[in-house]
Amino acid sequence: VRIFNTYGPRMRPNDGRIVPAFCCQALKDEPMTVFGDGSQTRSFCFVSDLVDGIFRLMMSDHADPVNIGNPRELSVMDFARTIKDLTGSASPIVHRPLPEDDPKVRQPNIGKARSLLGWEPRMPLEEGLRLTIDYFSTLIQQGIV
């Protein structure tokens, strides 16, 4: 299995990925850090969709690598705005220099998953983000983050 940008409740808050960073920054009304102009794209696969894809691959006879992820792309800037809207945050969005090795596009081709496993992601992004935001909100209320 090749796993692409999975998110959901129980993520580590400080693992350096965009989902926990934006969620925690927005919930605390801290500046949300976007690297570069935010035009680079990412795609996000909810953890239950990932588990379903892995399970289907395990139960199949296929031994080739299969990409499990969400092919729906979103710019980093649009993603920051989505998190800000869902949290009702007053966080400003600040820009920092884009690291040289940062990919412009990160989007899986899930053609094999669709054709071999009958799999594709099902969780709508905003619904999955609400569950994830609720998780981080609880951690913040408990003083863990």
Check residue 95 and give its pLDDT.
Answer: 98
Q: CA 69 to CA 106: how far, in whole Å?
A: 10
Instruction: Say how many C-beta atoms besides its own lie within 10 A of residue 76's C-beta.
Output: 21
CATH code of the domain covering residue 40: 3.40.50.720
Q: CA 62 to CA 51: how far, in whole Å?
A: 17
Check residue 123 and give its pLDDT.
Answer: 98
DSSP bridge pairs for 75: 41
CB 127 within 8 A of CB 81: no
Q: Which domain holds residue 117?
A: 2-141
Total number of domains constituting the chain: 1
Whole-model pTM: value is: 0.93
Check residue 38 and give its pLDDT.
Answer: 97
Characterize the bridge pairing of strands 93-96 and 32-35.
parallel
89-142 tens-digit pLDDT: 999 999 999 998 888 888 999 999 999 999 999 999 999 999 999 999 999 999
Check residue 105 and give its pLDDT.
Answer: 87
